[in-house]
Structure 1
Amino acid sequence: MQKQYVHTHRKWFAKDVPDVAAVLMTDVRQGISQEQAAARLEEYGPNSLPAKKKQSRIISFLRHFHDILIYMLFVAAFVTLVLGHYADTIVILLVAVVNAFIGFSQEFKAEKALEDIKSMLSLKASIIRDGVRTEVDSKDLALGDLVLLKPGNKIPADLRLVIADNLRVEESALTGESVPSEKTTHSLDPETMLGDRINMAFSGTSVSAGTGSGLVVAVGQETELGRISQLLEETQNISTPLIRQMAQLGKTVALFILGVSLLIFLFGRFFHNYDASELLLATIGLAIAAIPEGLPAILSIILAVGVQHMARRKAIVRTLPSVETLGSVSVICSDKTGTLTKNEMTVKSLVLAEERYDVEGSGYAPEGSITQHGTTVDAASAPLLAEMIRCFALCNDSVLTQDANGAWIIQGEPTEGALQTLYKKSGLTGAGKSRIATLPFDSQYKYMAILIEEGGQTLLLVKGAPDRLLAMSTQQRTAAGDVPLDPACWESAMSITAGKGQRLLGAALKIMPPQTRTITHQDLQDGLVFLGLAGIVDPPRNEVLEAIRACKDAGITVKMITGDHVDTAKAIGLELGIGDGSMAISGQQLDEMTDQQIQCAVKKCDIFARTSPEHKLKLVKALQANGAVSAMTGDGVNDAPALKAADVGIAMGIKGTEVTKDAAEIVLTDDNFSTIVAAVEEGRRVYDNLRKTILFILPTNGAESFLIIASILFGTTLPLTPVQILWVNMVTSVTVSLALAFELKEDGVMRRPPRPAGEKILDGYFIWRIAFVSILIGGMTLIMSVGLGRMGYAEDLVRTMTVQSIVMCQLFHLFNSRSIRGSAFKINPFSNRAVLVVSALLVVLQLSVTYIPFMNSVFGTVPLPLQYWPVPILLGFIVFLIVEGEKAFMRKRDAQNFTTKAGAAAGDNDHCEI
């Protein structure tokens, strides 16, 4: 056996079993020998996924301090330490450590996801070695081992099947298929996609029915599960838009502080001949004034509030920044099975020779009627319909029951479960008759048959693939009796029903001689009477249609990326409003495209079918290359790499695997696609509140900086000391600004397009507004301060008045900031009671710093006589009115320049060729 060949050759499905056995130097009945197994384990290693080398926890933790905002906090801490303000030093350092812990905790996500993949491997495997049946640990499986399979087995390695006796394997977590895969042993076309490789059994999947055996063709990292593990390990966690923008904001502020501080120091030294130590103290005060040291803590609090709100709406957030990222999502890539659909097969249509019926309801709950032309039909009064439904229910091995919570569940195959639900919907009774004989479903014959006695007759009932049953039928049942079969009529009916994305199942019967007690396949080869067809679908979730419509209103494109068949995906997509029902791209087509063509494909097409984990990853990366902010939803192992690579991964909490949950940033506890829309809405609210907070905080720093710069330029006494600056920053940043985290969403938040991925958190208007308010507050305060100084007031009293004026101006500005552009007069003052609470708290704090002796000595303030208070209050009210006037002017300008824009357009498709 050639090692290089075995490790690189993946198309075992394209070879006949004897050729596979020859390459692996094994025997399809005896397996390999113990000596061969030992040698191959030595050469290829155990059947386990390799452990990732772990980085030191200390190094991992320290690495999270490598951030410009954290550096700024350390600068602020150092300055407060130098000034002897130790309490502030401790608080600032605690903020830095908490932020580092938040980032450090995220690292466990990837490691846990890999561990969960490893746990999916079977612990034991039943094999034949040296012609003897034995049981070994799955890690001790070697290439060429002959593995035996039976219902309930978890498949321990990738197998090329040798025997498949009615073998069906549950592969939805790997391929996205909503029903178990029926297995065979014949070779397939070399271009067969993963979901269609029916002669293979893959590691981590499980046997749902039948028996079989297979040769181990891949172990450990070489299995399909191993490839997903490797993709997950190689996929890097991306930086969220918020993290990127806050990092850019931090760099901008840091450069501004350094540049201005240096210029002011030089100016004061050479133009005003300030004493070096005095000038250095002033420059340090300027730095403290300019650094928004409370911003990282406020950011974390705003995100944490968002996390709490989303938890109440059934979305559990595993990483704080992903809350905001949802608000900027422009594309949601969703798996079909179990996400857009229920993963519960449902009969939707019934076709008889002369009649057509529709079936209402979805899922396993027996709720809904059988209708014809919109009118409910009583199955008991429609003999031909009742006969076919009873045939489906009797020739059936599944059981429909209710669990302790009242939910309807199926014990058995999903398709058979759908037929049992149909029977209960019909209201018919008497389907519990004892069988005389059974021919179990066989993938080779594609049907199941039973023998019963009913009405004095011995009946052979059959259900299975329509083409097989039609080939064995000579007649069809009509109201006038049994007539010769009309194949063309049934072919047309099958084509129409399949075109709706429905899987087809046929029913037939045959009257057997009395006293018949056994049946064989030969009994079915001719003489069957064809009863009709059932069209079965994995139905869309009831709430998904409205959720997708809401996404479109919000400018968000929904793309379906599924492992299911192309026709099924197109039909479901059309029903949900995804795509036009005519265009879908398969995984095989994606394999033939270049990266540039895939980037074009994701612009033009909304449905991708028969995809592998690699395809999903490529599509997510193509969307990101086009500038889209993507969310990926899923519940299977096959979704995990794409979830990790997406800007935000969303896992299903009920039906999702642990691997998927640990690779995602958000887990939906109700598996409800509409919850994603609620999460997006929450994300947009969070981002709006973050911007409002920045718009509120930075003018405080700007006004203080303006005061100090103007004082140095004009050679006057500094209006604030560094300790007073720290106090103003603390009460405005860490207390008052918290109220904005609780602002409700504004009207129309879900009727506007997502913001562009590259949009700066400080756009042109924000820079203007911050500068405008900073100069407004700083200018008025400076005029007041200089005026009081010239009137001969004591320096401590002037500084106390300056502190009160800046804080009062910011308090009034808080009400401006409740809406970036909207009028404050139209906002319900009680809609956010936190604003009233922090306003009252601020008043208490300002009275404390003014009238408590201890606070006076620490912060250099003095008690203010009552007649001085109207001045800072009046200044604050003037700021409020002027800012509201500016907002009104901007709203008027916006109305004049209004143009209708298309919501999250995918880009210019005119020159895009697939």
Structure 2
Amino acid sequence: VDESALTGESAPVAKSTAPNAPDTPLADRTSMLCRGGRVTRGTARGLVTATGLDSELGKISALVAGAKRESTPLEERLDQLGNRLVWLTLAVAAATAAVGVFSGKDLYLMARTALALAVAAIPEGLPVVATIALARGLWRMAERNALINRLSAVETLGATGVICTDKTGTLTENRLRAVRCVVPTAGEIDLEARESAADPDDETRRLLRLGVLCNNAEPGAAGANLGDPLEAALLAAAAKAGIDPAAERGRFVRLRELPFESETRLMGTVHADDALDGARLVAVKGAPEAVLAACRLTPEERERWLAANDRLAGEGLRVLAFAGKTGADRGPDVFRDLDMAGLCGLIDPPRDDVPEAIRECREAGIRVVMVTGDQARTGVAIAGQIGLGEENGDAATVLQGSEMEAIDADSEDGRRRLLETSVFARVTPAQKLALVHLHQENGAIVAMTGDGVNDAPALKQADIGIAMGKRGTEVAREAAEMVLRDDAFPSIVVAIRQGRTIFSNIRKFVVYLLSCNLSEIFVVGAATVFFERLPILPLQILFLNLVTDVFPALALGVGHAGSDLMRDRPRPAAEPIVRPRDWRTAVAGGAMIAAATLGADLFAIRVLGQTPEQSVTVAFLTLAAAQLAHVFNMAGGRSPYLRSEIATNPAIWAAVAICAGLLGLATHLSALAGVLGLHAPGPAEWGAVAGFGSVPVVVEILRRLARRKRP
């Protein structure tokens, strides 16, 4: 029975009437059939012992329903930031109005100015820009075969610190392949070597022939053999060696079969051949210990075969033994006194692109944990092949599900052991769920990959569940936030990179908006205290809020990330969108823009000889130009300024061009200029705007040069 959807183990399990202990793990309950399994061979009659929620499938459904779904970190951070900015903005606007009135300014003007500041400073566009950034990221991920079921889950994946991944079909190809055999004389043979595959020796050919005859799989079109994956792999190995399964079965007609049983742990077949003069060909395959017990061997030969078995098993191969003989059909005794033909090692190989993906996860500070229903030895071998658990140069540590039950997760030592283990084998759905919860309690944002029904509870409990699109069950896909259309583990790395890019972009446009809004507050606040008039009017503030803030922020939200983004460790789960250093950057940027604006206003009055009514145009255009220039300062500090992800982003240049065009309309379209209190500036005024408006860029370049020269 194929129970991979329930247990995660790819190989079909033989069932029998022998009873099992009540505490036997699900994967080892050989006397029970569960809904969700698929019969690959044989017939049986059974007694129903559980239905509905009492069945194993029902228990998994109950775990899925009980797994709690929390808000994503991005949703929580945006809500917190928005609430704080609303109250902060209202307080600043009220204080500005009060100071202006007490300093003798017109009450109506200050009331309008305070209202304009409040409207402009409140980031009402933050949810819209964040949604657009997330949607853009979703589209990019869909191009790379990652389908998102929940928009905000894109960013959550970018903050992932732990990935709990299934082995079969996720890290491996979910396709057994015969790679090695051991025969009596020639010893170990590499079945994938060109010379061995094209022209096998007689002993290897005999072993592969026995694998074809003692086999119930059927050859399919284009090598897609049908039946038990293990038996299908034997047919593929024989075909690769030039053995035609159909021709062999046509020559050696099967007379009868000894089905595989868990008690005997072997399968046998008897075949007729006209060339044998009435004798029969006997073919047997099964567990090495069982087949060796049925063979005529000396103690030394038996020890040699057992050592070869241990060697292959130590490499993570599933080992089958083959034996046969030619003789009379003597009933059940025909499967005794056999001649040992050899051992065959089969592997469910890891995907070729997984080791590189594991390496990228390690560089990004992301811990990958294998959670499988397979054997511990196999899990450790696959982990070694893909580089899992090599953070300290050591082999991957492993725990079995039964060992997990014996560990006290509440003790410091037990908790540390569970958190530091890289491979978990023979685990149940409840244990997967507990493991995800344990890492979440440790402060990590957890992603869980899976494809079977048994993965569904943990997929839902995880901060983001990742289901396989090709091999995944419908239950797993419904429980997950992301579905990998190509089942490729590297697609997860692409999603992580995109998630980090989205959060980085959101942080950039938030800091940019804060800088722009603070610059307007600083201009009005400074003028309220030190000037007898305001250098910028309420309608002009609203115009800037609708024009120069929106387009650059949108361009920042859909931009690409810096090249070193995947070299940073994951963000702490409690880290806010705007960190203390981001607040310092926003305040410094706002003060710099405000200083440039006030300087341009004074320059227009004292140098250009303009009246206060005329200088408003220079101050307005300088404020807009400085804000547009400041968008280039949002680039990461480790990239060259002129080759940064901002300077090379076409959307940024398009946004700047659109804003420049709208500013030109505001000053040269008489109807709009009259409403805003502006006039068409002359060459000298444009020169002043260009000079003072470029202050943010000049200051940032000088700051980077000074930092580069520091020892």
TM-score by length of 1: 0.72
Superposition pairs for residues 613-652 of structure 1, below 5 Å? Answer: 613-652=429-468
RMSD between aligned residues: 2.6
Find the partner of 1:216 among 23, 45, 48: 48
Q: 1:745 to 1:357 in 2, by over 3 A?
A: farther
Find the partner of 2:344 among 534, 540, 555: 534
Aligned-partner Cα distance in 1 for 2:679–2:109: 23
Structure 1 window deviating more from structure 2 (594-603 vs 408-417): it is: 594-603
Q: 1:829 to 1:632 in 2, by over 3 A?
A: closer
Q: Does 1:199 align with 2:35?
A: no
Q: Is the 8 A contact 1:743 1:818 kept in 2?
A: no
Aligned to 1:838: 655
Aligned to 2:193: 369
Aligned-partner Cα distance in 2 for 1:278–1:829: 38
Q: 1:537 to 1:484 in 2, by over 3 A?
A: same
Superposition pairs for residues 267-416 of structure 1, below 5 Å? Answer: 267-269=99-101, 271-272=102-103, 276-359=107-190, 368-369=192-193, 376-377=195-196, 380=199, 382-402=201-221, 408-416=223-231
Q: 1:402 to 1:725 in 2, by over 3 A?
A: farther
CA shift, 1:208, in A, is: 2.1
Aligned-partner Cα distance in 1 for 2:515–2:574: 24
Aligned to 1:30: none
CA shift, 1:419, in A, is: 0.2
SS in 1 for 2:39: strand
Aligned to 1:465: 287
CA shift, 1:299, in A, is: 1.3
Q: Deviations over 1:22-80 (max 9, x none)?
A: xxxxxxxxxxxxxxxxxxxxxxxxxxxxxxxxxxxxxxxxxxxxxxxxxxxxxxxxxxx
CA shift, 1:773, in A, is: 0.9
CA shift, 1:561, in A, is: 0.6
SS in 2 for 1:342: coil
Q: 1:618 to 1:716 in 2, by over 3 A?
A: farther
Q: Mark the runs of 5 or more structure 1 residues left unpaired by the alignment.
A: 1-168, 361-367, 371-375, 476-482, 897-914
Q: Deviations over 1:404-460 (max 9, x none)?
A: xxxx53310000011011112212344242514131523244313131316435311
CA shift, 1:891, in A, is: 5.4
Aligned to 1:575: 385
CA shift, 1:890, in A, is: 4.8
How many equivalent pairs are there?
Answer: 697
Aligned to 2:420: 604
SS in 1 for 2:44: strand
Q: Is the 8 A contact 2:121 2:518 kept in 1?
A: yes
Aligned-partner Cα distance in 2 for 1:216–1:799: 86
CA shift, 1:716, in A, is: 3.4
SS in 2 for 1:882: helix
Q: Is the 8 A contact 1:392 1:507 kept in 2?
A: yes
Q: Does 1:523 align with 2:340?
A: no
Q: Is the 8 A contact 2:284 2:324 kept in 1?
A: yes
Aligned-partner Cα distance in 2 for 1:356–1:717: 97
Aligned to 1:171: 3
Q: Deviations over 1:601-643 (max 9, x none)?
A: 3332111111111111111111111122221111111112212
Q: Is the 8 A contact 2:562 2:644 kept in 1?
A: no
Aligned-partner Cα distance in 2 for 1:432–1:831: 66
Q: Deviations over 1:100-122 (max 9, x none)?
A: xxxxxxxxxxxxxxxxxxxxxxx
Aligned-partner Cα distance in 2 for 1:397–1:640: 33
Aligned to 2:634: 817
Q: Does 1:448 align with 2:263?
A: no
Q: Is the 8 A contact 1:347 1:359 kept in 2?
A: no
Q: Mark the runs of 5 or more structure 2 residues left unpaired by the alignment.
A: none
Aligned-partner Cα distance in 1 for 2:560–2:402: 47
Aligned to 2:355: 545
Aligned to 2:488: 672
Structure 1 window deviating more from structure 2 (343-352 vs 784-793): it is: 784-793
CA shift, 1:811, in A, is: 1.9
Structure 1 window deviating more from structure 2 (332-341 vs 725-734): it is: 725-734
Structure 1 window deviating more from structure 2 (249-258 vs 615-624): it is: 249-258
AA aligned to 2:518 is G
Q: Is the 8 A contact 1:821 1:890 kept in 2?
A: no
Q: 1:854 to 1:234 in 2, by over 3 A?
A: farther
Aligned-partner Cα distance in 2 for 1:639–1:495: 31
AA aligned to 1:342 is E
TM-score by length of 2: 0.92
SS in 1 for 2:616: helix
Q: Deviations over 1:847-873 (max 9, x none)?
A: 112222342344343333343211222
The structure with higher relative contact order (CA 8 Å, sep 6+) is 2
SS in 2 for 1:212: coil
Aligned-partner Cα distance in 1 for 2:704–2:155: 25
Structure 1 window deviating more from structure 2 (185-194 vs 532-541): it is: 185-194
Aligned-partner Cα distance in 2 for 1:655–1:774: 53
Q: 1:829 to 1:211 in 2, by over 3 A?
A: closer
CA shift, 1:353, in A, is: 2.4
Aligned to 1:775: 591
Aligned-partner Cα distance in 2 for 1:432–1:662: 44
Aligned to 1:228: 60
Q: 1:794 to 1:224 in 2, by over 3 A?
A: farther
Superposition pairs for residues 238-249 of structure 1, below 5 Å? Answer: 238-249=70-81
Q: Does 1:874 align with 2:691?
A: yes
AA aligned to 2:400 is S
Q: 1:195 to 1:627 in 2, by over 3 A?
A: same
Aligned-partner Cα distance in 1 for 2:30–2:380: 23
Q: Deviations over 1:462-501 (max 9, x none)?
A: 22222222222225xxxxxxx8982222222222222222
Q: Is the 8 A contact 1:505 1:533 kept in 2?
A: yes
Aligned to 1:508: 323
Aligned to 1:255: 87
Q: Is the 8 A contact 2:268 2:282 kept in 1?
A: no
CA shift, 1:335, in A, is: 0.3
Q: Is the 8 A contact 1:692 1:819 kept in 2?
A: no
SS in 2 for 1:170: coil
Q: 1:818 to 1:460 in 2, by over 3 A?
A: same
SS in 2 for 1:199: coil
Q: Deviations over 1:738-790 (max 9, x none)?
A: 22234333222223322322233222321111111101111221233355467
Aligned-partner Cα distance in 2 for 1:607–1:244: 32
